[in-house]
Amino acid sequence: MGAGGPRRGAGPPDGGWGWAVLGACFVITGFAYGFPKAVSVFFRALMRDFGAGYSDTAWVSSIMLAMLYGTGPVSSILVTRFGCRPVMLVGGLLASAGMVLASFATRLLELYLTAGVLTGLGLALNFQPSLIMLGLYFERRRPLANGLAAAGSPVFLSALSPLGQQLLEHFGWRGGFLLLGGLLLHCCACGAVMRPPPGPGPRPRGDSADDAPGEAEADRAGLRLREAPPGGRTRRRRLLDVAVCADRAFGVYAVTKFLMALGLFVPAILLVNYAKDAGVPDADAAFLLSIVGFVDIVARPACGALAGLARLRPHVAYLFSLALMANGLTDLSSARARSYGALVAFCVAFGLSYGMVGALQFEVLMAAVGSHRFPSALGLVLLVEAVAVLIGPPSAGRLVDALKNYEIIFYLAGSEVALAGIFMAVATKCCLRRSKDTPPSQGAQGGASDTEDAEAQEDAEALPTGAEEPGSLQALEAPSPGAGPGEPKEAAEPGVDPESV
């Protein structure tokens, strides 16, 4: 695994084995987003066997989602330490073991710990590394790749729910959980696909005797940890680069995601009950979610291809904000929809804008912080999103119980998502554009653009042993003192604090 990493200066292949990685990412995304919702098929049987209420039983899915989002920083640390492939293999085993053990549960608490905590943690250890590896394999076609991978969510949700119903009817909930645990072993197969991107030619192993001093390296699925000779400089990548929080682009994105997560999922959760309250028959009300899913399946890859166009890709942040505003306005304009035709129109518009958001959300983050800081940024963003998800939908449910009025909930949810889109657009235009137009002062700590320059220089040049301070453009561009014209310049690896040994 260590010998298969990319050579310096080699860009993402944008194809080849990357398509196999994309297929694995499609499957992982489908399991991560579809599985917690598909488990709800078994709730009625669980309520009967355990004598519990719906709210108590629903905590199984809630805990699973909380683990998926809330363990993002843990996943980032493990990926940086061990690499994507080992983490995903262990995650697949954990996810499968959680469902297998849940089939033997005799109390709800045991279900919380197995299907909730263990399976949720396993899905989290698969989801985040798959996105990281996708970014290593695709650059030019990355928006399309993200859109195709994101399409796994509606596809698997449409497939897993009927499958769960069939398993429940034929084998009961215990047999269904056991078989679903076996199905989750496919995550291990997807993890095995995640080999590091190949370099343009053969590269000596880091532990061979022929390596030059300071060149020993162990690839961690594209995240390289370098060793320096005695008296040289040690360059270690932080397990979790919390310094990314000081990045202005990351701050804007994190606030946007928090506001978005407060209201984005609420309409889909309440849609069926809202339609039944409006007098729609049960079968027709359930079909509304299928309409959202079908439109979502088409919208995600289509939006990914659109974002990859040369004229639109530099403005992908504005496209993301447009998708958020469209989703929020859809909620606001449909708050009083009572007829079935109006609800179908809402589902088409909601599915389209929801798919656009799903296709663009991680592409915007990659573009904001760079692929080298993406693992840490993704973990921290998922943690922020976990807080919002635990606040938004539960609060909406309590308001419905208290007010018996869905219209106010749709207004609140739409306002939150639309506000997220407006904030993203205004902050990108006023704050981020202004910071790019302002030349950095000498010795100032570099922002996101400086970090990307440092990464490009580090990948293109040999590892230095000089003593320049990292972080400033002058330190990155000026040769180290005493270096000859043919010697490499000092280049600080982004997100790394060099230390003297």
Sign of the Cα pseudo-torsion (414, 416, 419, 423, in order): negative
Quote the pLDDT of residue 12: 72
Do 189 and 264 share a domain, yes or no? no
- SS3 track for 29-73: HHHHHHHHHHHHHHHHHHHHHHCCCHHHHHHHHHHHHHHHHHCHH
Comparison of pLDDT for 442 and 397, the residue scoring more: 397
| Residue 465 within a domain | no
| Residue 463 within a domain | no
Of 56-70, 110-124, 328-342, 347-361, the range with the lowest mean pLDDT is: 56-70
Confidence bin at 421 (pLDDT 50/70/90):
very high
| Residue 449 within a domain | no
Q: Which two tokens stand for residue 128?
A: 């985040």
Determine if the pTM surpasses 0.95: no
Residue 467 has pLDDT above 60, yes or no: no
Of 92-106, 238-252, 376-390, 461-475, the range with the lowest mean pLDDT is: 461-475
Contacts of 172 (CB under 8 A, 6+ apart): 45
Give the percent of the chain with pLDDT over 70. Answer: 76
Terminal C-alpha separation, the chain: 28
Stretch (H or E) spanning 400: helix 374-403
Do 21 and 170 share a domain, yes or no? yes
CATH number of domain containing 289? 1.20.1250.20
Phi-psi region of 463 (alpha: psi -120 to 50; beta: other; left: phi over 0): beta
Residue 110 has pLDDT above 60, yes or no: yes
Residue 495 has pLDDT above 50, yes or no: no
| Residue 146 within a domain | yes
Confidence bin at 11 (pLDDT 50/70/90):
low
Quote the pLDDT of residue 204: 34
Do 34 and 149 share a domain, yes or no? yes
| Residue 94 within a domain | yes
Do 279 and 367 share a domain, yes or no? yes
What are the tens digits of pLDDT across the range 116-132? Answer: 999 999 999 999 899 88
Backbone phi, psi, residue 234, to 5°: -95, 130
Do 190 and 248 share a domain, yes or no? no
Comparison of pLDDT for 433 and 104, the residue scoring more: 104
Do 322 and 398 share a domain, yes or no? yes
Confidence bin at 237 (pLDDT 50/70/90):
low
Quote the pLDDT of residue 154: 87
3-class DSSP assignment, residue 218: strand
Residue 236 has pLDDT above 60, yes or no: no
Do 269 and 385 share a domain, yes or no? yes
| Residue 117 within a domain | yes
Do 34 and 166 share a domain, yes or no? yes
Do 317 and 403 share a domain, yes or no? yes
Quote the pLDDT of residue 239: 73
Stretch (H or E) spanning 261: helix 248-263
User: For the chain, what's the residue count?
Assistant: 501
What are the tens digits of pLDDT across the range 254-274? Answer: 999 999 988 888 888 778 778
What are the tens digits of pLDDT across the range 194-208? Answer: 988 876 533 433 333
What are the tens digits of pLDDT across the range 246-256? Answer: 888 899 999 99
> 217-220 and 233-234 as β-strands: parallel, antiparallel, unpaired?
unpaired
Domain that holds residue 247: 241-435
Residue 487 has pLDDT above 60, yes or no: no
**In the predicted model, what is the mean pLDDT of residues 275-292?**
82
Quote the pLDDT of residue 26: 94
Cα 438 → chain centroid: 31
Quote the pLDDT of residue 223: 43
Report the chain's mean pLDDT, rounded to a whole number. 77
Quote the pLDDT of residue 360: 92
**In the predicted model, what is the mean pLDDT of residues 404-428?**
90
Contacts of 417 (CB under 8 A, 6+ apart): 259, 260, 262, 263, 264, 324, 325, 327, 328, 331
Of these ranges, 82-91, 139-148, 468-477, the one predicted with the greatest mean pLDDT is: 82-91
Domain count for the chain, please give it.
2
Of these ranges, 136-140, 160-164, 250-254, 448-452, the one predicted with the greatest mean pLDDT is: 250-254
**DSSP state for residue 237 in the 8-state scheme:** B
Do 167 and 275 share a domain, yes or no? no
Confidence bin at 402 (pLDDT 50/70/90):
confident
Residue 235 has pLDDT above 70, yes or no: no
Contacts of 490 (CB under 8 A, 6+ apart): 464, 466, 468, 475, 476, 478, 479, 480
Do 141 and 250 share a domain, yes or no? no
Do 64 and 187 share a domain, yes or no? yes
Residue 476 has pLDDT above 70, yes or no: no
Backbone phi, psi, residue 185, to 5°: -65, -15
DSSP track, 82-117: H-HHHHHHHHHHHHHHHHHHHTT--SHHHHIIIIII
**In the predicted model, what is the mean pLDDT of residues 212-237?**
42
Residue 7 has pLDDT above 70, yes or no: no
Of these ranges, 19-23, 374-378, 388-392, the one predicted with the greatest mean pLDDT is: 19-23
Of 18-22, 154-158, 437-441, the range with the lowest mean pLDDT is: 437-441
| Residue 405 within a domain | yes
Query: Any idea what the Cα angle at residue 102 is, between residues 98 and 103, rounded to 5°?
Result: 125
| Residue 121 within a domain | yes
